[in-house]
Amino acid sequence: MKALNAIQDMKVILLVILTTLCPCVLLLNANGLQRKESRDSIEMQIKLIDGHTSMEGTVMLRFRRLNNASQAWSLWGLLCDDGWSTASADVVCKQLGFGPALQYTVANKFQTDLRGRQILLDDVRCSGSEADLSQCRSRSPGQHNCEVGEAAGVRCSAAGRVVELNSWRRPENTENTLASSTKPSYQLKLVPLKAENGSSDSDNRTTSGIVLVVFNGSSSSLQAPADGLCADSYVTLREASVACRELGLGAARTVWKHPVAPEAAQITDSARILPALSVAGCRGGEARLSDCAQLIGPGHSNQTVCLEPTFTLAIECTADLPDLILDHRVLQLSAYVARVPMYYMNCALEENCAARTAFEVRNRSSHWPYALRTLLRFSTIVSNIGTSDYRPYNGSESWTWHTCHMHYHSMPYFAAYEIYQQRNGTHLALASGHKASFCLEDSSCRGGLQPKYQCSRDPWDTGNQGISVGCSDNYLHDLDCQWIDITDLPFGFYRFRVVLNPEFKSAEFNYDNNAVLCGLVFSPYQAQLRHCRIQHAFDV
- Spell out the domains of the chain, with CATH numbers in brackets: 42-157 (3.10.250.10), 186-193+205-318 (3.10.250.10), 324-535 (no CATH)
422 in Cβ contact with 406 (< 8 Å): no
Query: In 166-241, at which residue ranges do the beta strands (DSSP E only) sit?
Result: 186-191, 208-215, 226-229
Strand pairing of 77-79 and 119-121?
Answer: parallel
CB atoms within 10 A of CB 379: 17
Q: What is the average per-residue pLDDT within 89-97?
A: 86
47 in Cβ contact with 66 (< 8 Å): no
Query: With 60 as the cut, is the pLDDT of residue 31 above it?
Result: no
Please give the single-letter amino acid code of residue 185: S
- Distance CA(416)–CA(350), nearest Å, equals 17
**Mean pLDDT of the residues in the chain:** 77
Please give the single-letter amino acid code of residue 23: P
Query: With 90 as the cut, is the pLDDT of residue 45 above it?
Result: no
Q: What is the average per-residue pLDDT within 79-91?
A: 88
Taking the model in full, what pTM does it have?
0.67
Range scoring the smallest mean pLDDT among 91-100, 297-306, 352-361, 436-445: 297-306
Q: What is the average per-residue pLDDT within 1-25?
A: 46
**Which residues, in sequence order, are bridge partners of residue 194?**
none
Span 157-203, pLDDT tens digits:
654 433 333 332 333 334 444 444 334 467 888 888 764 445 655 55
Q: What is the pLDDT at residue 516?
A: 96
**Angstrom distances, CA of residue 12 to CA of 4, 6, 7, 444, 445:** 13, 10, 9, 77, 79
Span 269-301, pLDDT tens digits:
334 566 667 787 888 988 888 888 766 654 444
Q: Which residue did the predictor score with more confidence, 420 or 436?
A: 420
Q: Could you give the 3-state DSSP secondary structure of residue 470?
A: coil
Q: What is the average per-residue pLDDT within 335-363?
A: 90
Say which residues have a Cβ less than 8 Å from residue 215's Cβ, sequence separation at least 6.
185, 186, 225, 226, 297, 298
- Distance CA(353)–CA(364), nearest Å, equals 19
Q: What is the average per-residue pLDDT within 377-399?
A: 89
Q: Which residue did the predictor score with more confidence, 317 or 399?
A: 317
My answer on whether omega of the bond before 225 falls inside 30° of 0, hence cis, is: yes
Confidence of residue 264 (pLDDT cuts 50, 70, 90): very low
Q: What is the pLDDT at residue 33?
A: 41
Q: What is the pLDDT at residue 204?
A: 56
Confidence of residue 131 (pLDDT cuts 50, 70, 90): confident
**Counting Cβ atoms within 10 Å, is residue 6 exposed (0-12), middle (13-18) or buried (19+)?**
exposed
**Angstrom distances, CA of residue 283 to CA of 32, 171, 518:** 52, 15, 21
Confidence of residue 10 (pLDDT cuts 50, 70, 90): low
Write the DSSP string, 79-146.
EB-TT--HHHHHHHHHHTT--SEEEEE-SSTT----TT--EEE-S-B--S--SSGGGSBBSPTT----
Query: With 50 as the cut, is the pLDDT of residue 498 above it?
Result: yes
Q: Where are the alpha helices (DSSP H) in 285-337?
A: 328-334
Span 511-531, pLDDT tens digits:
999 999 999 999 998 899 999
- Distance CA(528)–CA(522), nearest Å, equals 7
- The number of CA neighbours under 13 Å toward the Cβ of 379 is 14
Q: What is the average per-residue pLDDT within 219-248?
A: 74
414 in Cβ contact with 475 (< 8 Å): no
Span 471-482, pLDDT tens digits:
999 999 998 889
Confidence of residue 538 (pLDDT cuts 50, 70, 90): confident
Q: What is the average per-residue pLDDT within 449-477?
A: 89
Q: What is the pLDDT at residue 226?
A: 55
519 in Cβ contact with 421 (< 8 Å): no
DSSP 200: B
Q: Which residue did the predictor score with more confidence, 336 or 157?
A: 336
Q: Alpha carbon 17 to chain centroid distance? A: 50
Q: What is the pLDDT at residue 394?
A: 78
Query: In 388-507, at which residue ranges do the beta strands (DSSP E only) sit?
Result: 400-402, 407-409, 415-423, 426-435, 444-445, 454-455, 463-464, 471-475, 483-485, 492-500
Burial string for 230-250 (b: 16+ CB within 10 Å, else e) reads: bbbebbbbbbbbbbbbbbebb
- Distance CA(340)–CA(481), nearest Å, equals 12
